[in-house]
Amino acid sequence: MTDPSITRATVPGHVPAEAVCPWDHYEQPELLLDPVGCYDEVRAQREALYSPLFGGFWILTRYDDQRRVLQDPEHWSSVNSAIPNRGVRLLPVNLDPPIHTKYRSIVNGPFSPGSVRQLEGRIRTVCRELIERIDPTREVDFLDEFAKPFPATVFCAIFGLASEQYPRFIQWTEQVLHTSDVLVRDTATAELREYLGDLIAKRKTRPQSDLLTDLVQADVEGVGLTDDELLDFSQTIFTAGLDTVTNALAFMFRHLAENPQDRMSLLASPSLAPSAVEEFLRLYSFVQLVRTRRVDTKIAGVEVKQGEMVLLPLASSGRDADAFPGADEVIMERHPNRHLAFGAGPHRCVGSHLARLELRIALEEWHAAFPTYALVPPTGPVGHGGGVSGLTEVRMRIDSA
């Protein structure tokens, strides 16, 4: 049921009647059943839809159109990154070039492929320790026992957080990212910012060897970040770092639990892991990005006016048959695989190399320990929407699979 508090805008005159569809990218029933596959039918019908919910916004469904928007920040601004708009600014997410480039460069180095490679041993240790704690004789809660603590523990170490508090961090992140309830979202945001503000103050007096200290010591053209900028920046890294790999793990391992032939292929050829990760990212691209048009234009057969927002459900581009032959099949050796799971253009996910490494290590270590596992079918819908869509339940049987 769509929340009655959701504002429904009057549809502007330039929107063709056949494009209008009240799509709720948080709670749409089809999305709760299948957060990524729900866009297949939408895309089959239209390249562009207009949802009158949340004040009104466009949805672009095709790979080419989504990529065009993401690669053109001059005409498609990132000033809003959520529908409905957030009360706070995220850095560098809500900046456009050229100023974006200066802030973004602060985090490029720490998350580069070369920097991330240095962490492989530590990440593998975290992964193995979690797997050793899993009791394969009983039903496994894949999210709580693995998909949440694994990336959260890695992230806490990089960022400079006490990893034993990760359940609280995850709760904040989920409340900030997954709900259209503005009160829940803004309350969690305020709590998180107070917590981060306290940590930032501590790092200023006692620097540590962590990303938070890197931020505190960073400068843009010789000027350090203000306290507000530090909060805006650290909140972005925090929420992005805690939630996304969990969802990628959930989709990937649920697929393998449900499709033994794909799991067998991977077990027979472990060197397929890196390209298998790309294929699962393509098929389950769960992020929904937002851009705002700067000047009137035509795209995907519709007119988008200055100031109108577009939602780009990346799940839809990843499954677009015009961009990917055999788009609905899993082809673990697929090449090329130019999916947009990490976005495109200047805002491409800075954590993508860390995410890829964590996903590959998870495949390798999980399969070394548990080659056979089966999904415990959920009793109801387990999807959730928002800026980062995902699954709220993945339960497995290991021994009896």
Partner 1 sequence: MTDSANDRLVVRLDRDRCSGHARCASEEPDFFLLDEDGYSDLDADVVVKPDQIDAFRRGVAACPEDALTLEVAHETKELP
Residue 67 near partner 1 by CB under 8 A: yes
CA distance linking residue 150 with residue 139, whole number of Å: 19
For residues 271-310, which are near partner 1 according to CB under 8 A?
Answer: 274
Contact stretch for partner 1 (CB under 8 A) within 200-208, 228-236, 305-313, 345-353: 345-353
Report which of 169, 229, 164, 174 is spatially closest to residue 200, judged by C-alpha positions: 229
One symbol per residue from 84 to 123: x for binding partner 1 (CB under 8 A), - otherwise; what is it? ---------------------x--xx-xxxx---------
Return the residue of 336, 377, 379, 380 that touches partner 1, per CB under 8 A.
Answer: 336
CB 384 within 8 A of CB 178: yes
CA distance linking residue 327 with residue 317, whole number of Å: 10
Residue 337 near partner 1 by CB under 8 A: yes
Work out how close the CB of 312 gets to partner 1 at its nearest, in angstroms, rounded to a whole number: 14
Give the type of residue at 152. A
Nearer to partner 1, 43 or 347 (CB): 347
Nearer to partner 1, 206 or 335 (CB): 335
Return the residue of 80, 163, 171, 352 that touches partner 1, per CB under 8 A.
Answer: 352
CA distance linking residue 243 with residue 151, whole number of Å: 8
Cα dihedral sign for 152, 158, 161, 162? positive
Residue 260 near partner 1 by CB under 8 A: no
CA distance linking residue 288 with residue 40, whole number of Å: 15
Work out how close the CB of 106 gets to partner 1 at its nearest, in angstroms, rounded to a whole number: 10
Return the residue of 339, 351, 362, 373 that touches partner 1, per CB under 8 A.
Answer: 339
Number of residues that this document lists for the chain: 401
Pairing of strands 223-224, 302-304: unpaired
CA distance linking residue 315 with residue 100, whole number of Å: 26
Work out how close the CB of 178 gets to partner 1 at its nearest, in angstroms, rounded to a whole number: 26
Residue 314 near partner 1 by CB under 8 A: no
**Total residues binding partner 1 (CB under 8 A):** 25
Helix (H, G, I), strand (E, B) or coil at 36: coil
Helix (H, G, I), strand (E, B) or coil at 76: strand
CA distance linking residue 91 with residue 185, whole number of Å: 18
Residue 45 near partner 1 by CB under 8 A: no
Nearer to partner 1, 59 or 340 (CB): 340
Query: Contact residues for partner 1 (CB under 8 A)?
Result: 67, 71, 105, 108-109, 111-114, 274, 335-340, 342, 344-348, 350, 352-353
